[in-house]
């Protein structure tokens, strides 16, 4: 009889303990508590999107949740709060928050019960996204470093038996999302180059004409960029920043890869691209150049030039197509 009672107790209570599990994209199973989610990609191309909102992270790419006994239980998952990491929180011009099932909630908030799902099947995607929204006029930019805490979500999970409204099996989660890359994020901007990609074509390049000093290189190209603001009465100084990966041999040059733009080819360790404004080099990420908006408009000319690594090894320049990419960010001085 004692064995029978123990057996019945095990059958009765084990499903309520193990009926719901979440799993990180690293394979760790969790039933509650705090989880750290690293390598969240963050880009700065958020100005041409509708309403200048960038849904930069889909939580279902990093977490999955599962009802292990859908025939017996219904699982519920709610977002109860969201908070910004220090990098975002310290800039009051930046708006950020969470999207749950298509509805936007500006962070920070707490004490809510925003339903993510009512899970009657084994699983469904987590309809949660993280978003940024920028202003329609220049405001201070934000430098995000890899590993910076971007946002924290608080969640509440509970269950009911099928055909019952009694809440059981409560669990609480805290998910911390960390940046996976260095990036400069503009918190407000006017349109740059009508939101069109600026293509700089160096055509055929002879390695002997590339200098270790970009301003002395034979391969230089000028590109004009224009600024257009919604407010035609806006007149103000602005600060322009080049955001992009830096080369392996110089923090003053942009990284170069083999192949065409967007191909994500291998890194060409002996070649970089430097950017100049009015004869002064503009270092990616840490540098800037000053400009201005007058009556809602402005323009500048940038020079792009190839630069090679000093004491170059033969295999550090690879014959064939190469490309580099960066984003121009508008900020206030």
Identify which of 296, 226, 305 has the alpha carbon closest to the alpha carbon of residue 273: 305
Tokens, residue 162: 């099928």
Report pTM: 0.75
Nearest to 62 by CA among 83, 44, 35: 35
Residues 239-269 as b/e (b if ≥16 CB within 10 A, e otherwise) read bbbbbbbbbbbbebbbbbbbeeeeeebeebb
Per-position pLDDT tens, the chain of length 333: 334 344 343 344 444 444 688 888 888 888 889 999 999 988 765 555 567 788 889 999 999 998 888 888 899 999 999 999 999 998 887 889 999 999 999 999 999 999 999 988 888 889 999 999 877 778 888 889 999 999 999 999 999 998 888 999 899 999 999 999 888 887 777 888 988 888 999 999 988 889 998 888 899 999 999 999 888 899 999 999 998 899 999 999 999 999 887 777 899 999 999 999 999 999 998 899 999 999 999 999 999 999 999 988 878 888 889 999 898 988 888
The pLDDT, as a whole number, for residue 318 is: 84
Q: Beta-carbon neighbour count of residue 310 at 10 Å? A: 10
Q: Where do we find the tokens 């960029």?
A: 225
DSSP 309-325: -TT--GGGS-SS-EE--
Q: CA-CA distance, 149 to 158, in Å (whole number)?
A: 27
Question: 3-class DSSP state for residue 332?
Answer: coil
3-state secondary structure of 86: helix
Domains of the chain: 17-185 (2.60.40.1090), 192-331 (2.60.40.1090)
Q: What is the pLDDT of residue 82?
A: 98
CB 152 within 8 A of CB 89: no
**Strands (DSSP E) found in 120-249:** 128-133, 142-144, 149-161, 168-179, 183-185, 191-192, 220-228, 236-243
pLDDT on residue 300: 96
Tokens 């608080």 sit at which residue?
154
For 48, phi then psi, to 5°, come to -95, -5
pLDDT of res. 131: 93
How confident is the model at residue 19, as a pLDDT? 67
């Amino acid at each position: 009889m004692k064995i029978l009672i123990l057996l019945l107790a095990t059958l009765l209570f084990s499903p309520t303990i193990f009926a719901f599990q979440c799993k990180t994209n690293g394979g760790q199973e969790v039933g509650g508590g705090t989880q750290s989610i690293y390598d969240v990609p963050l880009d700065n191309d958020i100005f041409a999107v509708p309403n200048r909102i960038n849904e930069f992270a889909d939580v279902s790419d990093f977490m999955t949740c599962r009802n292990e006994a859908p025939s017996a239980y219904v699982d519920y998952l709610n977002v109860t709060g969201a908070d910004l990491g220090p990098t975002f929180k310290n800039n009051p011009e930046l708006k950020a928050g969470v999207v749950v099932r298509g509805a936007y909630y500006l962070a920070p908030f707490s004490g809510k019960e925003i339903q993510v799902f009512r899970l009657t099947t084994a699983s469904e995607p987590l309809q949660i996204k993280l978003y940024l929204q920028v202003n329609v006029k220049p405001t201070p930019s934000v430098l995000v470093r890899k590993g910076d805490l971007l946002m924290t979500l608080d969640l509440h999970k509970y269950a009911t038996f099928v055909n019952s409204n009694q809440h059981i099996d409560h669990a609480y989660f805290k998910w911390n999302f960390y940046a996976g890359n260095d990036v400069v994020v503009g918190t407000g901007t006017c349109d740059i180059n009508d939101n069109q990609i600026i293509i700089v074509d160096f055509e055929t390049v002879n390695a002997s004409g590339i200098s270790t000093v970009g301003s002395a290189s034979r391969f230089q190209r000028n590109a004009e960029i224009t600024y257009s603001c919604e407010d035609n009465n806006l007149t103000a100084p602005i600060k322009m920043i080049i955001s992009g990966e830096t080369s392996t041999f110089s923090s003053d040059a942009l990284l170069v890869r083999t192949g065409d733009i967007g191909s994500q080819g291998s890194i060409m360790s002996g070649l970089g691209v430097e950017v100049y404004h009015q004869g002064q080099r503009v270092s990616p990420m840490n540098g800037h150049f000053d400009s201005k908006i007058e009556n809602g408009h402005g323009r500048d000319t940038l020079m792009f030039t190839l630069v090679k690594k000093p004491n170059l090894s033969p295999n550090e320049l690879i014959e064939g197509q190469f490309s580099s990419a960066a984003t121009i960010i508008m900020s206030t001085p």
